[in-house]
A and B are shown apart, each in its own frame.
Chain A
Amino acid sequence: MNRKKLLPIFFSLIAAVVLLLGIGPALPSGTAGLSAVSAEGEDAAPAAGEKKKLVMGTSPDYPPYENVDAKNNGEIVGMDIDIAKYITGRLGYELEIASMDFNGLIAALQTGRVDFVMSAMSATDERRQNVDFSDIYYVARNTIVSKKDAPLATLESLSGKRVGAQLGSTQDLFAETIEGAELKKLNKIPDLIQELNSGRIDAAIVEDAVAIEMTSANPGLVMNFLPAESDENGYAIAFPKNSPIVGDFNGILAEMNENGKMDDIVQTWFPDGEEKEARGLNIDFSVLKGYIPFILKGVYVTLLFTLVSALFGLIWGSILSLFKISGIKPLEWFATAYTSVFRGTPLLVQLTLIYYATPQLIHYEIPALMAAGLAFGLNSAAYLSETIRGGIMAVDKGQREAAIALGVPYRKMMVRIIFPQALRNILPALVNECVALLKESSLVSVIGVTELMRRADVVRSIEFRSFEVLLFVAAIYYVLVLILTSFARMLERRLRRSD
């Protein structure tokens, strides 16, 4: 009798199993199979040609090549963007810009999420194994940035020092060749500045344009240019393997070099002798001026994300907790295994897997926000299913007996009698989970969702100042948590009015 009523639950079980099985095979296919990836590139390119739209991937935290124009309308601007606009315009394509983390750009090309990448990316041999490059369009000089009171000018002087570089960048590769230096790889340029200022590294290797901005925003730092490297370290446009549009792009690049268009664009973004006004050493919140509306817009994304993942987690967690107490062995095993896997692996890994594996497995271009909501919901459901199970077990057995004796069907009994009482028991735990979700939402900035933390990173990368922005978003998070907590208190009072 009761089993029949669990039939709809079976369907969701099947759906979940399909999802889980789907994620499984992603593990090998993500790292292996160059041939499969390149075949996909071939498929994608003609389709893109038909719709006359090209999607460009870029990591907009690297001015003046690309950054978010946060003070104005939040558009992505920079030298790379101007070049891309010019080329696609000349070839008759419409240009769409997709913002993502630098470390995810190659994966985005391989999965066909973007048609090409311009992100001050050097055409290294390692990268050439996975993607195709255009001709070099710009060669940057590597530069040593160090503290003014302990300046380091030459490669030789770096021996025995702690040297920082941005993970995955050309300077990262270059820094590995420095003899005797202890290398520290960080995700972002602003992180390098903080590490320099706090004395945890002695020098950072960055490229010339970045060094100029870093030193002008931080008067305590000095820079020393290194001799220009060979052409192989220059910047080039990256394409999926065997992309048919490489030739077209090269044609326009050559044309730009001839007619002086390239020099014009470079001049716009590298003005000679411009010096930013030196700021004080300490915290100066006037840096935030002009960025506040941009950052505050992230609140909406953060809240939306928290709400979606909390709701999804609560519903799916409730279903899982019902599985666990159903007395039907396969359902119990499934729910227990599910909880074990999702609790036992890092959320960041789940998030990245879902975001990058979904397009390859089911050919659905999962939007970043949806991938994030899904990953956090699935993860939070694992924790909540245990909390809810505890809440249900804590409801007096007599409640169930009274409902059964009245002839109330199982589903109605759970929904109307048991759950409301369980919910009341576990409300404090639920609030904890929501607060955790709200704060952990800052993790999703890694896949490019423009929530609060991502926006803070954007501002950090433009201003080359960190503390002001970080303190500001910390305050916003704190206020959001306070508001959430007071809502929860109101809800709890309402639920407890029967006491």
Chain B
Amino acid sequence: MINVTDLTKSFGKNEVLKGISTTVEKGEVVALIGPSGSGKSTFLRCLNLLETPTSGTITIDGTAITDPKTDIARVRQRIGMVFQHFHLFPHMTVLDNITFAPTQVKGIPLAEAQARAKELLARVGLSDKADSFPSRLSGGQKQRVAIARSLAMEPDIMLFDEPTSALDPEMVKEVLNVIRGLAGGGMTMLIVTHEMKFAREAADTIYFMDDGRLVERTKPEQFFAKPQSDRAARFLEQVL
């Protein structure tokens, strides 16, 4: 479904991604782990072109999104993204946050979009918050709304950029449960995370990144039992 070939990304002289190639299958759940500064987030942000790759190609369902002729906005509609700091629109209610893109981008009638938004809110357990403003919500609630907002565009792929890193510990679980639910539903997902337990349980594949390279790409049970590289072993030693 997603094909990445020789992807590099530099910010000025600083080469953050040093040639990444991989394939993600439909329905596959990938957990990206690795030390900070290893390029996990940059890799994720390249997949919906929030960062423009310096070289290499990314193909989604046969469409080369790195080709300048491709309509990026259409591609982005198929890719949902959830950020570490939620980025809800603070001047809109929860319901308006969720219906904004479907009505404004896809032209779905408001009533239909609202009905769908309410279903999504029920799914993330926030039916009672439809008319609240984001400032009234806890971090965990905000992140669940952000997930619902992305899902409202009915994407084929979901990208999560450290979705629980900005949360108080007691709120991590409610968010992870929602993501776990999505994984069970067959969504293709890439998740940058520091939650090792979650990565082990929910992911189909672990990508271990270090210094701009995809060092290891294995099943979680194998990765956590016996990592192939020294660097991964050292990393696991530090975080577990």
Residues of A bordering B, CB below 8 Å: 1, 396, 398-399, 401-402, 404-409, 412, 416-417, 420-421, 424, 495, 497-499
Contact = CB atoms under 8 A, between A and B. Distances in A.
A408 B150 CA distance: 12
Nearest to A424: B91
Contacts of A406: 76-77, 100-101, 105, 149-150, 153
Contacts of B105: 406-409, 412
A377 B73 CA distance: 36
A416 B87 contact: no
A447 B93 CA distance: 49
A498 B80 CA distance: 25
24 contacts: A1-B72, A1-B73, A398-B83, A399-B87, A402-B83, A405-B48, A405-B79, A406-B76, A406-B100, A406-B150, A407-B77, A407-B153, A408-B100, A408-B101, A409-B105, A416-B100, A421-B91, A424-B91, A495-B91, A498-B92, A498-B93, A498-B133, A498-B135, A499-B133
Contact of B91 (A401, A402, A404, A498): A498
Contact of A405 (B80, B85, B91): B80
B81 interface: yes
Contact of A420 (B48, B81, B83, B91): B91
Interface in B49-97: 50, 71-74, 76-77, 79-81, 83, 85, 87-93
B134 interface: yes
B50 A408 contact: no
B14 interface: no
Contact of A401 (B50, B77, B80): B50
Contact of B87 (A401, A407, A409, A412): A401
B73 A399 contact: no
Given A405-B79, A406-B150, 8 more contacts: A398-B87, A405-B48, A405-B76, A405-B80, A405-B150, A407-B76, A407-B153, A495-B91
B134 A498 contact: yes
A266 B71 CA distance: 82
A497 B87 contact: no
A34 B217 CA distance: 86
A371 B80 CA distance: 51
Contact of A421 (B48, B90, B150): B90
Contact of A417 (B71, B89, B133, B153): B89
A311 B234 CA distance: 62
A406 B82 CA distance: 10
B83 A407 contact: no
B238 interface: no
Interface string B98-114: 00110011000000000
Contacts of A498: 90-93, 133-135
Given A407-B76, A408-B104, A402 B48 contact: no
A2 to B, nearest CB: 10
A495 B135 CA distance: 13
A327 to B, nearest CB: 14
A495 B90 CA distance: 11
A162 B146 CA distance: 76
A214 to B, nearest CB: 60
A104 B83 CA distance: 63
B102 to A, nearest CB: 9
Contacts of B50: 401, 404-405
B52 to A, nearest CB: 12
A492 to B, nearest CB: 13
A497 B133 contact: yes
A364 to B, nearest CB: 40
Nearest to A397: B87
B104 A416 contact: yes
Nearest to A1: B72
A405 B74 contact: no
Instruction: Kindly name the residue among A399, A405, A417 whose own CB sees the greatest number of chain B CB atoms within 10 A.
Output: A405
A421 B87 CA distance: 13
A497 B88 CA distance: 16
Contacts of B77: 406-407
A230 to B, nearest CB: 75
A330 B50 CA distance: 26
Nearest to A499: B135
A404 B89 CA distance: 13
Nearest to A420: B91
Contacts of B79: 405
Contacts of B149: 406
Contacts of B74: 407
Contacts of A404: 50, 76
A495 B146 CA distance: 22
A412 to B, nearest CB: 5
Contacts of B72: 1
B117 to A, nearest CB: 14
A408 to B, nearest CB: 6
A420 B96 CA distance: 14
A85 B146 CA distance: 76
B57 to A, nearest CB: 19
Contacts of B100: 406, 408, 416
Contacts of A421: 90-91
A398 B85 contact: yes
Nearest to A406: B101
State the 7 A-B residue pairs at the shortest beta-carbon distance, nearest first.
Answer: A402-B87, A398-B87, A498-B133, A407-B77, A406-B101, A405-B81, A407-B76
Contacts of A405: 48, 50, 76, 79-81, 150
A283 B238 CA distance: 86
Instruction: Kindly name the residue among A1, A401, A407, A497 whose own CB sees the greatest number of chain B CB atoms within 10 A.
Output: A407
Nearest to B74: A407
Interface in B180-194: none
B161 to A, nearest CB: 10
Nearest to B50: A401
Contacts of A424: 91
Contacts of A417: 89
A499 B132 CA distance: 10
